[in-house]
Chains A and B, each alone.
Chain A
Amino acid sequence: MIGVLALCAVISILVTVGIVVALMVPSLEFFTEVSPAEFFTTAKWAPLFKPAAFGVLPLITGTLNTTFWACTICLPLGLGTAIYLSEYARPRARAVIKPVLEVLAGIPTVVLGYFALTFLTPLLRSLGWQVEIFNAFSAGIIIGVLLLPTVASLSEDAMKAVPSSLREGSFGLGANRFQVSTRVVVPAAISGIAASFVLAISRAIGETTIVLIAAGQLAHVSFMPGDSVETMTAFIAATGAGDVPVGSISYKTIFAVGLTLFVITLLLNIVAIRMVRRFREVYE
């Protein structure tokens, strides 16, 4: 029995190692043909054209652009929802909000992508904001909506785990509910809340379908919300689904961009874990 369980653990390790190797090998071949200096420092991305250009910065800024707008939605609204659910909501309100959040989390991303493209973008235009048909803002906002339940649910779990004796202690000193929530419960739950934020940011960076449908494929450096941008994930998905020949330099760019994406997410996780260790308030 122990053997079977150990095998389960080993399989997950093997899969992880396998993915890293599968990313590394074509990426290393790519970097023998294109210098890392060109890849990471130049701002022209045209790997499928002649003459080809391999500056990944437009894809990175495109990802940052959509991720930023996703964060403006999912982090504050997610934390606010979590505080409400954990500290304020009566059972009747919870009975409505929790299932709605679960439904939201279960909507397929392709549906959300078309919602961004065919509802949100026209809405923004009808409000007088001349965004492009494909734009970073609509895609980012809808990614934020997608991730809101993740942040709300994980943050709520972290806050629920804070012992009620701490709440009673602060109520007993004359604190009101908002002060108890923000000065005692949130600080005590900060490691779990930060973990939910990091997971959300990682998933916003890695989200593919919504940006592929709604953010466009125009690889240029832009931080304007109304501009069409291409993200790293959208490039990988569009190019992988296209007709690039296996083994060509265009094919290998997919892996180089994938590796870049992987490293960015990994670094983000490491930094976040360190920050949480430093700032968290450990109860018991």
Chain B
Amino acid sequence: MDAPPTTTGTQPRGLQPETMAGASNESIELPMDQREVVFDCRELGVRYAGVRALRDVDLNIHRNTVTALIGPSGCGKSTFLRCLNRMNDLIPSAVVDGACLYHDEDLYGPQIDAIEVRKRIGMVFQKPNPFPKSIYDNVAFGPRVLGMKDGLDDRIEQALRRAALWDEVKDRLRQGALGLSGGQQQRLCIARALAVEPDVILMDEPCSALDPISTAAIEDLMTDLKSEYTVVIVTHNMQQAARVADMTAFFSVDQGETGTRCGVLIEVDSTEKIFTKPSNERTEAYVTGRFG
């Protein structure tokens, strides 16, 4: 425990060198706020067609932690999540301002390729969205488009095992993915994201369309995944955040004087602190169910 925080030394970090997932598991031994900073967001904001949806988010996300983003509808937590892998680029009217540093490199810098960003920062969506292809082809999609064709079978098996789905599907890899149950589909989507060996997994309300048993399976999975990955999850469900997250960020909505609504980050702290003794009264009102 006396080792200083590592991996900020000689080797340049950022998008170019391959940050092998799980290569420095020692960081999980450190207290959360001393673990390596994966995302360092400074005054991050988003406008859609000129209307501000999110402003001034200052937030660090640390390696090998599960960070939950909670808050009422319209608070910008999904918008924020989509900044982290440049998914907002897909909306032509979206403009991101402020800085979002990923391993000290600005994700929105001029040399950064959004394709490369999304390869390193995987995403799982609210509704399971397997492709209408076989289970195998779903997991193989990412490796194939990225040209990782060596040892594809092994890569797929490994991804399915990590997503705790292998035993259920190993005998029917060539069957259609849409024949799986909702919970299996979502684990398939997680396996699909893991197959390209990302550094970070972003999850946008991954359990909102699932039954409680499937939800429990995915939550167990998140806890397992943090030993190798950094996980950021948006959730509506405060119990879920309390169960799975190490850190919790509470977002809320500020009402402007002209009636405009804009998402803001109210507070980020360890999950235990957010749910027991938050420092901001708005957080307290929300987590105790008296929403403010």
For A183, the chain B residues whose CB sits under 8 A away are 141, 144-145
User: Contact size class for A?
Assistant: 20 to 34
* Least distance between B113 CB and chain A CB atoms (Å): 9
Please tell me if the beta carbons of A165 and B133 are within 8 angstroms of each other in the complex.
no
Give chain A residues whose Cβ lies under 8 Å from the Cβ of B92. Answer: 90
State whether the Cβ of B127 lies closer than 8 Å to any Cβ in chain A: yes
Query: Which of B90, B129, B145 is in CB contact (< 8 Å) with A163?
Result: B129
- Assess whether A18 is interfacial by the CB under 8 Å rule: no
Q: Is A241 positioned at the interface, with any CB of B under 8 Å from its CB?
A: no
Output the nearest chain A residue to B130 by Cβ-Cβ distance: A169
Bound CA–CA A163/B142 (angstroms) = 19
- Determine whether the beta carbon of B90 is less than 8 Å from that of A169: no
Inside 8 A of A283's CB, which chain B residues have their CB? 132, 178
Interface flags for A156-190 (1: CB within 8 Å of B; 0: not) read 00000001011111111111100100011001100
Whether A187 lies near B141 (C-beta < 8 A) is no
Chain B residues near A169: list those with CB within 8 A: 125, 129-131, 189, 192
A187 touches B133 (CB 8 A): yes
Distance (Å) between the CB of A104 and the closest chain B CB? 27
A282 within 8 A of B: yes
Is B119 located at the chain interface by the 8 A CB criterion?
A: yes
Are A168 and B115 in contact, CB atoms less than 8 angstroms apart? no
Q: Is B85 an interface residue (CB 8 A)?
A: yes
User: Contact at A173–B133, with CB atoms within 8 Å?
Assistant: no
**Given A184-B131, A283-B178, A168-B119 contact (CB < 8 Å):** no
5 extra interchain contacts, Cβ-Cβ under 8 A, other than A172-B125, A187-B132, A281-B133? A169-B130, A169-B192, A171-B87, A172-B123, A174-B146
Task: List the interface of chain B (C-beta within 8 A of A).
Answer: 85, 87, 90, 92, 115-116, 118-119, 122-123, 125, 127, 129-133, 141-142, 144-146, 176, 178, 189, 192-193, 196
A interface list, Cβ under 8 A from B:
90, 163, 165-176, 179, 183-184, 187-188, 281-284
A-B CB proximity, top 10 nearest? A174-B119, A281-B132, A173-B142, A172-B123, A165-B129, A169-B129, A175-B145, A283-B132, A174-B118, A179-B145
